[in-house]
A and B are shown apart, each in its own frame.
Chain A
Amino acid sequence: MSEGEIIYLDHAAATPLLPEAAAAMADAYRDAPGNPEAIGRPGREAARVLRQARERLAGAVGVHPERLLFTSGGTESIGLAILGMLRDRTGGHVITSAIEHPAVLGSVQMLERRGFEVTRVPPERTGVLDPERFAAAARPDTVLACLMHVNNELGTIQPVQAALGGVKERTPRCQTFVDAVQSFTRLALDPDGWQADLVALSGHKIGGPRGVGALVTGKRRPEPLFGGGDQEWGVRPGTQNVPGIVGFAVAAELGERSRSSRRARVSEVSGAFLVALAEGVTQALVNGNVEARSPWIVSVSVPGLSSEALVRGMEEHGVCVSAGAACHARSQKQSHVLQAIGLSPRLGTLRLSFGPENTPDHARRAAGALALTVKRYAL
């Protein structure tokens, strides 16, 4: 590996903790060590800090504070939404897409084993779902529809408003859920406009800490999945991670405030990457619809070497990226997302996910590293 700076292009896996978030967390660890449920003064102080953080996050999301449930992260928020809303039902129909995050597909599969019927709507080859096709899957017994906002492997933006609106039109009583983990603070969030009853968020994708997330709820809250105290209205028992929540709220607030300027910067960076890629790696394919894509994520495939070899080859040049999605990069199977858009398993695929601290020069160096990796190692 070359000496010196590491160019980090894996923000869809985890973002560096914002210094402001880290500072606020340190304050919370020091000044509010109590249990927010405790009666004494330290407890009251912790409860106050928690309340403030909830209000700040609610402000960033644009919902009433009582619509936020804190969890341990995106996966738990997703599981709580899907399994918690249908906890006491024995059957029904669920709609989702074939390119959801494994947290969604895994929870839906658990429902399936319990007797639910599941429709997994495939995406178009562009990696974007046809909202008509999604809505057309709705039936009178459809109880839940789940769709992600931004796909974590391709960066494609899904038409959540049209798709979920279409479902609600056909079956108004159906619950709707959006996984907004990859879009929060990057694109505009609009739970009510989307007609989404539930929205999952995560801390470490937005400059907050790992180990904290939130679920935005609507009129109905999910049923708890385990027993305990009455934290989070009894829906998510267990002492809240107060400092983590504080860091999450600070990152969300800063992120929402700077959303358009960061988006412009990241668009410039990923644009520079695409230009350099087109010049330097002629055999590269950019996956997913160019128009409907978040600038934060670029998925590239090249023939002649595996995804793992590509990632390691990039690392030799100090560029840190993911193969497909970080979560299953080690499994060496082709990802379900790439399979769903009909990509040949013989291609190696990289996911580059940019952040506001990246520069166009980083992007060009990443493209250069990819060109060298392909030149040296592709068969």
Chain B
Amino acid sequence: MTPVPPSSVLFILRYGEIFLKGGNRPFFERCLVDQVRRVMLPLGGRVTRLHGRVEVELPAGGDNEAFERLSHVFGLTSFSRVTAVEPELEALCAAATAEALASLEVWTGEPPRTFKVETRRSDKRFPMKSPEISRQVGTAVGEAIGLPADLRRPDLRVEVEIGSQRTFVTTQRHPGPGGLPVGCSGPVQLLLSGGIDSPVAGYSLLKRGCTLLPTTFESPPYTGEDAREKVIDLCSQLARYAGPLRLRIMRFTEVQLEIQRRCPPRMAVVLYRRMMLRAAERAARFSGALALATGDSLGQVASQTLENLSCIAEVATLPILRPLVTFDKAETIAVAQRIGTFDISVRPHVDCCSLFVPDHPETHASSEAAVKAEAQLGDVDALAQALVETSEIIEIPDPFANA
């Protein structure tokens, strides 16, 4: 392994092991490394895949930015800034002592009363076994920092890892976002509104490794530029996790007005959603998406009763993923706040989903009633096709594409 130049810092990134068994492991790892590269290369980082770890070498000084970015890479279970060291006991003791002292210096909150040294030795050429290394290094650290060891519930944890390619010491471990690396689960067509739920649905799918093809509908002049900007800003927020996105915008005005003019008002919401789903499915097939996704939550609003969900879903043949189907609103809001979409979603601009909504919408729509109402619209498949053909694509850049 190349030595780390003094002007650089080293990060070790860990990922879950359970899902990595079997022949798919290299594929998962490749997706993960791609995602790490996406966020770290713009910072001048060098990303290397080690055995069971990813290593990032970064110019010194960008720690906080690096941590921020890594917390947006799904598939990582934890990451640490580490000190690289020669695989020799003396060097290990010195590095561990220095790390421990340094971490005490920046310690916040109640000062630590105990510590522990943990060793992982995957390079069996190293002449000592892990417990023995821990004991030896622990003695050196304990003398330097003047704290007793506690092997069960230590306040300060010093980790020593002796790998075949890299040996290092660290005292910190930042939790990663978990999940699967983006790109390993396939593309999904997300129906994105300006609301609170659908961005969280998008986030949830990214967390399970999907790539997102966001699609939104707008009804100008009833909806304005502000509503479009809102959706673009939501996409930018998701792009922190996803990388660059292509937002498809479909103009829904004429379809929505036709439904208003020709169909029973009670059915309007169900009919909007059936048309949106038809159009989204066409866009999905066009761009190779394997599923559709919505922010539906069971029973949250009138269109989300089981009857209505099924009446709406029947127009699509691709599977419809609904990550929030069992979420309470409060749970969705908590996620939205954490991922930074909430403040955007609550901007007060009307989107087309909340236009022309009747006072008493149908809550138990039947397939027959929907089909009968749609007969007034003419060829619904042609309408859906036209929505896709006239749609507009907006490129959403990766917010992490620059330093």
Contact = CB atoms under 8 A, between A and B. Distances in A.
27 contacts: A305-B221, A305-B222, A306-B222, A308-B221, A308-B222, A308-B224, A309-B221, A309-B222, A310-B221, A311-B221, A312-B220, A312-B221, A312-B222, A312-B224, A313-B221, A315-B221, A316-B220, A316-B221, A373-B221, A377-B221, A377-B222, A377-B253, A377-B257, A379-B257, A379-B260, A379-B261, A379-B356
Interface of B: 220-222, 224, 253, 257, 260-261, 356
A373 B221 CA distance: 9
A35 B39 CA distance: 52
B107 to A, nearest CB: 49
A349 to B, nearest CB: 15
A79 B253 CA distance: 43
B179 to A, nearest CB: 39
B228 to A, nearest CB: 11
Nearest to A377: B221
Nearest to B220: A312
Interface string A296-336: 00000000011011111101100000000000000000000
Contacts of A313: 221
B357 to A, nearest CB: 13
Interface of A: 305-306, 308-313, 315-316, 373, 377, 379
A311 B257 CA distance: 18
A316 B223 CA distance: 13
B90 to A, nearest CB: 70
Nearest to B222: A309
A302 B221 CA distance: 15
Contacts of A311: 221
Main secondary structure of the interface of A (DSSP, over half): helix
A306 B354 CA distance: 14
A347 to B, nearest CB: 15
Nearest to B261: A379
A306 B260 CA distance: 15
Contacts of A373: 221
Q: Which of B221, B224, B253, B356 has the most CB atoms of chain A within a 10 A radius of its CB?
A: B221
A175 B356 CA distance: 49
A364 to B, nearest CB: 21
Nearest to A315: B221
Contacts of A379: 257, 260-261, 356
Given A305-B221, A377-B221, 14 more contacts: A306-B222, A308-B222, A309-B221, A311-B221, A312-B220, A312-B222, A312-B224, A316-B220, A316-B221, A377-B222, A377-B253, A379-B260, A379-B261, A379-B356
B98 to A, nearest CB: 58
Contacts of B261: 379
Which of B253, B260, B356: most chain A CB closer than 10 A?
A: B253
Contacts of A309: 221-222
A379 to B, nearest CB: 5
A312 B349 CA distance: 14
Contacts of A305: 221-222
A288 B224 CA distance: 29
A118 to B, nearest CB: 30
A80 B260 CA distance: 50
B220 to A, nearest CB: 6
B260 to A, nearest CB: 5
A308 B222 CA distance: 7
A310 B261 CA distance: 18
B123 to A, nearest CB: 65
A306 B257 CA distance: 14
A310 B356 CA distance: 16
A304 B184 CA distance: 49
Nearest to B260: A379
A186 B261 CA distance: 44
Nearest to A378: B257
A305 B223 CA distance: 12
Contacts of A306: 222
A112 B222 CA distance: 38
Contacts of B260: 379
Contacts of A377: 221-222, 253, 257
Nearest to B356: A379
A309 B224 CA distance: 8
Contacts of B356: 379
A249 B356 CA distance: 49
Contacts of A315: 221
A373 B257 CA distance: 13
Contacts of A310: 221
B158 to A, nearest CB: 57
A195 B161 CA distance: 90
A315 B221 CA distance: 9
A377 B224 CA distance: 14
A308 B349 CA distance: 11
A377 B356 CA distance: 13
A312 B261 CA distance: 21
B392 to A, nearest CB: 13
A309 B261 CA distance: 17
Which 4 pairs, one residue from A and one from B, show the smallest C-beta to C-beta distance?
A: A312-B221, A313-B221, A309-B221, A309-B222
A303 to B, nearest CB: 14
A308 B261 CA distance: 20
A306 B222 CA distance: 8
Nearest to B225: A312
A379 B221 CA distance: 13
Nearest to A306: B222
B214 to A, nearest CB: 23
B380 to A, nearest CB: 20
A229 B173 CA distance: 60
Nearest to A312: B221
A379 B220 CA distance: 14
B76 to A, nearest CB: 42
A260 B222 CA distance: 40
Contacts of B220: 312, 316
B100 to A, nearest CB: 57
A216 to B, nearest CB: 39
A316 B224 CA distance: 11
A312 B253 CA distance: 13
Nearest to B253: A377
Nearest to B221: A312
A281 to B, nearest CB: 16
A296 to B, nearest CB: 25
Contacts of B224: 308, 312
A313 B260 CA distance: 18
A175 B276 CA distance: 61
Nearest to B224: A312
